Structure 1
């Protein structure tokens, strides 16, 4: 879950590498480094800490028209100066940055040490420059040596390397994301598009097994055997300003506030004559499906719960499975199974592994993702995009809303096709009120009392979130956001489960945030009152005229809407509570400890 960048072209590379690392810091921020090649050696500068510390440690940016950079999220070895990337061979002639996990590095390291190679770090990555260096002694070219090196590796990797005296960047991909950016005078490689979006929107999404060589005036892509490979050039439709923080203090707050426009993009063109119209998935697309499995992790899992519950309500057999548990929890899978991978980045390792397993068992696969050209989108049989735009804050906000809406639409497309299924009785009302959702979110953002309540409950011992039906997934998501960025203890529960154990933890220092969707809210109200009787302050998240307002200690208002969308409005309120609490506590909101945005390792 690291971020890598490489650049070659005219002019000095260092400033571009550093700005690219800043744009990638959501992928890891416990150490950073760059290496620049300028004809007089490979110059490496790296340190533990954030990119800002690396910049401060550089009295002057090193000169050179090509280089590589890295921002790290530790997997092998603690965040130290020695473990920071780039890593080099013993002589310092080969420098490498790497995202992924080399599973056989211990064996390779022992073999290299027995042949006289000296190591300075605890990382798995360091074996790579040593392998390249050793193979260069017998290979016809450095490119051939890189091929030999990656053929030796087991595990996942996106690699970029530079070599002393050579005006080229060498790269390879297997199981970790890598994208090539194409500009008039320079080429880029990065883990994600925002790294170079300020410079170009023309990209090539590289695939597993690709080996790339960038030179000042050309690039070439081949397979591991050296055979030329053609990859399509795509245009990214993200505005560079969308990937920036603008006037906001934090990316997370900007992304919370951008949900009205993100949802408008998600909805646009997908409702026609009162029916769902998903591009590329016309009526009858899923006529042969009998069972739907949603696979996802984290926030995407909570969004997938939305899809599961709506499909069950429509009479379709559905289940949501944590991607990391798919092997043991999937049950029977065959050609009548549709496996839906819900992944914001399209690169989540556990989710990719799950849909590959499902596909191997005969299932049809569908990716619901935010990134065109991502691995999930390419490998699945079909893809639906949530269209939320770039999200930089580690704690997902707008992507959850857009995922839930996209999945809600998908469920109605599925229900209309699958034998025995039927769209919701009031689907026309549901779709009509969906078009009001962006405006309703704007109302919540303008009138929220979340900051006042966050301040009031700031010294609480624990924070509980409860909900029923669709409100349960919102409760789980609210608790996840709170614990991610405040570091305070928070848990989400199905309303009816509160009295089956968790009630023992309730005191007057345990505020209860109760989500009311307007559908079967009795359990949530009853259990909130039971917690209140034990001293817990209750915050009702619901419309102003909801009966819960009369019994609650505090109220976070949402507009009247269809029950399917009420939970998403409640979620915006809970996002704001988490944000303001974290801000009041002085937490690093965009860079919560131990977490990274795109989990590309298992």
Structure 2
């Protein structure tokens, strides 16, 4: 949650900060602000509630100040007002700070600082930080030392950027939990919560680790730990093209990212499909012997990534013949989980920074599990926590509602199931060959599915006024029903539920009447006849059925109100193909209803607080 940017160099900081915040607005859009440090013992601070455009209209883009920090907020403590917008300053006006995270002991700190004579003007937990720095500087005038001591007083999770009005030649930062990235330029340096705002300026970045503090000047970056000892962190070269983070002629980032899925899947598969009969070349850090030793897999994820994990459960159990459980990352550590010997814990997170998933991964590791991460960001916290990492290579995903990150996660999970099946000797060679060939054909099939957008738009025009939806699927398609329902909720604010189709008669059937659209996901697979039977039960109660079926399948023509025929696909890949029309349906319904599809209300892309 929340986005932080910072710049120090020779150019005007204001336009760089505003452009950076535009790239980070997916992380929060309740309010925004920037602080410029022109020297002379003052700051020029501009803040605004609401979307970033409200701030942009107030900022002087010609301000000559060459140092500054900025913030876009997802509100936790305090209402989303201009008064509570970051940056926050000390009462004497000499220290400003931006913050992503939660200071859990802020009430205690506020009471202490009020007792020392300081005043507070906001409802936020963040304000206590610049005030604390100011308090410490009464006896410790060195800004860097005061910053270090103030960070030590903060309990909770945080990424912080801080400036001193009388010392505009440096930015001090600290990280414990939420991500913070330093971008390395030539005579200029940057900070950000994500690499995306850095891509216009540099691809050379340093990912700070938990407990890292850093001093950033125009020409140098010094990283140190809480005790003041220096530490070195590797420099990564980000592979993303800056153009990939732009809309490229599409109306919304989400629409663009839906249509990028053929390319994203191609990138996921690049160099990972075997040639000449060899094994699947995933480059895992585990040997075949270690892969054979795993007796159980626990998948830890939240939201859309958890739905990917549920599909992965089918892949891994059936192809690798290993028991799999899929846990909510947000619940895992609170139920005193039992971790069996030789357990592989797989954390799935697009950003690699999802707080609940990271906490679950740490808990599993503490209980003896081996760790693997499936994520989209090289150098992310999840990648550094895990012994082995599988990158999805989806490219930057700006839309808050995940699309191409999800489909590439499914591809990686299928590849992992193949690799484990090879190592464990459980994989039928004929099935393996069929899946690998189908994966080669998948990008072209995704192109064909994306071309159904016009018909999906017609569906959206017909159904956008519905107040409830029910999504049904069976086998590995029931998680796709869950994902379809989640997308509709996220984007259009329509209530929707996803269920395994066989569960419909165990309660949800009571909801069915002539007003309820039922979206059925029914490829021609082993579950088709069962789903067809379930839908006949729904039709008998006047349910209005929208069906996704395979080309040539006429089994629902007599009871479905709308049918979309999709290309024939290997059943193992049907989840990847059939989710795309559901993404498009949610997108177009939301657009027709006037919703902000890239930045849905109350949501943020990277959930970095619990």
Structure 1 CA distance for aligned equivalents of residues 5 and 343 of structure 2: 39
Contact in 2 for aligned 1:202/1:235 (Cα 8 Å): yes
- Cα shift at 1:423: 5.5
- Residues 1:531 and 2:538 aligned together: yes
Q: 1:424 to 1:44 in 2, by over 3 A?
A: farther
- Cα shift at 1:247: 1.1
Q: Which runs of 5+ in 2 are unaligned?
A: none
- Cα shift at 1:139: 1.8
Structure 2 CA distance for aligned equivalents of residues 425 and 119 of structure 1: 69
Structure 1, 534-543 or 324-333: larger mean CA deviation: 324-333
Query: What RMSD over aligned residues (CA atoms) do the two structures have, in Å?
Result: 1.4
Structure 2 CA distance for aligned equivalents of residues 516 and 241 of structure 1: 37
- Cα shift at 1:414: 2.0
Contact in 2 for aligned 1:444/1:557 (Cα 8 Å): no
- Residues 1:585 and 2:556 aligned together: no
SS of the residue corresponding to residue 100 of structure 1 reads: strand
SS of the residue corresponding to residue 57 of structure 1 reads: coil
- Residues 1:462 and 2:468 aligned together: yes
SS of the residue corresponding to residue 320 of structure 1 reads: strand
1:144 is matched with which residue?
A: 145
Contact in 2 for aligned 1:3/1:21 (Cα 8 Å): yes
The runs of at least 4 aligned residues of structure 1 exceeding 6 Å deviation read none
Structure 2 CA distance for aligned equivalents of residues 182 and 548 of structure 1: 59
Deviations 1:120-153 (CA, angstroms, capped at 9, x unpaired): 1111111100111111122251100011000011
- Residues 1:559 and 2:561 aligned together: no
Structure 2 CA distance for aligned equivalents of residues 91 and 426 of structure 1: 70
Given the two structures, how large is their TM-score scaled by the length of structure 2?
A: 0.96
Structure 2 CA distance for aligned equivalents of residues 569 and 578 of structure 1: 16
Deviations 1:154-189 (CA, angstroms, capped at 9, x unpaired): 000100011011011010111110000001121001
- Residues 1:34 and 2:34 aligned together: yes
Structure 1, 389-398 or 499-508: larger mean CA deviation: 499-508
Contact in 2 for aligned 1:366/1:380 (Cα 8 Å): yes
Structure 2 CA distance for aligned equivalents of residues 90 and 259 of structure 1: 50
Structure 2 CA distance for aligned equivalents of residues 359 and 103 of structure 1: 25
Match of 1:522 among 516, 529, 537: 529
1:482-497 paired onto structure 2 within 5 Å: 482-497=488-503
SS of the residue corresponding to residue 583 of structure 1 reads: helix
Q: Which runs of 5+ in 1 are unaligned?
A: none
Deviations 1:337-370 (CA, angstroms, capped at 9, x unpaired): 0000000000000000001000001110000000
Structure 2 CA distance for aligned equivalents of residues 523 and 298 of structure 1: 27
- Residues 1:320 and 2:320 aligned together: no
1:280 is matched with which residue?
A: 284
Contact in 2 for aligned 1:518/1:566 (Cα 8 Å): no
Structure 2 CA distance for aligned equivalents of residues 393 and 548 of structure 1: 36
Contact in 2 for aligned 1:542/1:555 (Cα 8 Å): yes
Q: 1:62 to 1:486 in 2, by over 3 A?
A: same
2:219 is matched with which residue?
A: 217
2:246 is matched with which residue?
A: 244
- Aligned length, in residue pairs: 601
- Residues 1:386 and 2:392 aligned together: yes
Contact in 2 for aligned 1:517/1:564 (Cα 8 Å): no
Deviations 1:363-394 (CA, angstroms, capped at 9, x unpaired): 10000000000000001111110110000000
Contact in 1 for aligned 2:14/2:60 (Cα 8 Å): no
Deviations 1:433-481 (CA, angstroms, capped at 9, x unpaired): 1111110010011234110111111222311110001110100000000
Given the two structures, how large is their TM-score scaled by the length of structure 1?
A: 0.98
1:207 is matched with which residue?
A: 209
- Cα shift at 1:334: 4.0
Structure 1 CA distance for aligned equivalents of residues 228 and 63 of structure 2: 33
- Cα shift at 1:285: 4.2
Structure 2 CA distance for aligned equivalents of residues 478 and 384 of structure 1: 25
- Cα shift at 1:12: 1.1
Q: 1:423 to 1:393 in 2, by over 3 A?
A: farther
1:368-383 paired onto structure 2 within 5 Å: 368-383=374-389
1:5 is matched with which residue?
A: 5
Deviations 1:500-541 (CA, angstroms, capped at 9, x unpaired): 111111122211111123222122111112111211221111
- Residues 1:187 and 2:221 aligned together: no
Contact in 1 for aligned 2:532/2:556 (Cα 8 Å): no
- Cα shift at 1:309: 1.4
